[in-house]
């Protein structure tokens, strides 16, 4: 009921039109954050924040993941994340997981900007569509995150009456030994805890949403076009937010960008679009906040630490940064989307 009320209120223009920002610009957002009135920021992020780390997004025509799956002989690209197909043919998924597994990716400027929001005491939560767990590598902890489409961080047996849990190191060992992971208890398949097509989103997504969004005073959207439900509907409940867009397209708001945003109509009062890459947008906002030097130093220090840990472990090691993250930003759908 609350969701439908928010949907109709947004669609019909029945919600509050209080103007919080003194200017609908990046500068206005920075002044709002620095004013001390902005204490509960929620970040919503998608595959676009990880592309500069070398992880492909899903839908780009030539470079996206779905455009480069021919070698797996799938009936259709999305089948690699379809739960029924996976149970019958798990080989393509685990071959892809081996190709994109951690050890070769480091968090981006975006990931560390979110970590800075936490360090500054203004991050309420980060809602991510990604399964690469780079948010964790950057320093966010479990309570800071809602991994809406699941994670490689843990895995479970797919058998309903078993559901034995396995950790990241166990799954990585199986994948890199070219084994199809099988449960040690019942011999059924073991699947990473990512949300495949045909599966429900984690319960924590819905329970946290009800607690977080009524308290949110600024929503930052980065690296997602908000086309995938139910994730895309979250902004409908809010009065104000800024959106960072990976696509450098000033017509974005007119061409179906999700979330009920209004960037440039006569009635616009809350939404701000930064037309740039996600990393450039975060650097620009950090600069206006007076945080840029601190952010750049954090990125440099953390990347040096990750490189050092990886060298100590050597090829195939699993205790460094790779052990904290897993690969490929994911965009599978839940049952609610079908």
Q: Supply the DSSP string of 194-248, one letter for each residue.
A: E--BTBPPPHHHHHHHHHHGGG-SEEEEES--S-STTGGGGGGG-S-EEEEESS-
Cα(164)–Cα(184) distance, integer angstroms: 9
Q: Is 149 a catalytic residue?
A: yes
Residue 63 labeled ligand binder: no
Q: Supply the DSSP string of 89-158, one letter for each residue.
A: --HHHHHHHHHH-SSS----HHHHHHHHHHHTT-EEEEEE--SS-HHHHTT--GGGEEETTEEEEEEEES
Residue 33 labeled ligand binder: no
Residue 31 labeled ligand binder: no
Cis peptide before 230 (omega within 30 of 0): yes
Residue 336 labeled ligand binder: no
Residue 183 labeled ligand binder: yes
Residue 131 labeled ligand binder: yes
Residue 264 labeled ligand binder: no
Cα(11)–Cα(159) distance, integer angstroms: 42
Residue 47 labeled ligand binder: yes
Query: What is the number of H-type helices and E-type strands within the chain?
Result: 11, 9
Phi/psi of residue 156, nearest 5 degrees = -140, 150
Residue 48 labeled ligand binder: yes
Residue 43 labeled ligand binder: no
Residue 154 labeled ligand binder: no
Cβ–Cβ under 8 Å, residues 233 and 7: yes
Helix, strand, coil fractions of the chain, as percent rounded to 5:
45, 15, 40
Residue 157 labeled ligand binder: yes
Nearest-CA neighbor of 52 among 102, 107, 3?
107
**Residue in 89, 111, 149, 303 annotated catalytic:** 149
Residue 282 labeled ligand binder: no
Residue 110 labeled ligand binder: no
Residue 50 labeled ligand binder: yes
Q: Supply the DSSP string of 26-41, one letter for each residue.
A: HHHHHHHHHTT----E
Binding residues for NAD(+): 47-51, 57-59, 129-132, 224-225, 278
Binding residues for Zn(2+): 157, 162, 183, 186
Binding residues: 47-51, 57-59, 129-132, 157, 162, 183, 186, 224-225, 278
Question: Catalytic residues, which ones?
Answer: 149
């Amino acid at each position: 009921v609350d969701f439908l009320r928010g949907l109709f209120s947004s669609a019909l223009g029945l919600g509050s039109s209080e103007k919080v920002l003194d200017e609908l610009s990046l500068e206005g957002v920075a002044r709002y954050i620095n004013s001390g009135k902005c204490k509960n920021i929620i970040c919503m992020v998608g595959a676009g924040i990880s592309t500069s780390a070398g992880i492909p997004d899903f839908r780009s025509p030539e470079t996206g993941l779905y455009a480069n799956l021919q070698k797996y002989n799938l009936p259709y690209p999305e089948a690699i994340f379809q739960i029924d197909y996976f149970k019958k043919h798990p080989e393509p998924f685990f071959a892809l997981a081996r190709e994109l597994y951690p050890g070769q990716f480091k968090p981006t400027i975006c990931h560390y900007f979110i970590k800075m929001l936490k360090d500054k005491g203004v991050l309420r939560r980060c809602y991510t569509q990604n399964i690469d767990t780079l948010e964790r590598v950057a320093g966010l902890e479990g309570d800071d995150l809602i991994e809406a489409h699941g994670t490689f961080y843990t895995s479970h047996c797919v058998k309903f009456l078993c559901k034995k849990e396995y950790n990241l190191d166990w799954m990585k060992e199986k994948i890199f030994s070219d084994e199809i992971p099988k449960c040690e208890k019942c011999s059924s398949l073991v699947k990473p805890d990512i949300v495949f097509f045909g599966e429900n989103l984690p319960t924590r997504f819905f329970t946290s949403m009800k607690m977080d969004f009524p308290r949110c005073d600024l929503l930052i959207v980065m690296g997602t076009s908000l086309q995938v439900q139910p994730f895309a509907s979250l902004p409908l409940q809010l009065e104000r937010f800024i959106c960072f867009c990976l696509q450098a397209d000033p017509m974005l708001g007119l061409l179906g960008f999700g979330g009920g945003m209004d960037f440039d109509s006569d009635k616009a009062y809350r939404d701000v679009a930064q037309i740039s890459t996600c990393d450039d947008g975060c650097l620009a906002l950090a600069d206006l906040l007076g945080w840029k030097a601190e952010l750049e130093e954090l990125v440099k220090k953390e990347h040096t630490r990750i490189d050092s840990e990886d060298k100590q472990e050597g090829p195939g090691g699993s205790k460094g940064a790779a052990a904290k993250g897993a690969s490929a930003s994911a965009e599978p759908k839940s049952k609610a989307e079908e």
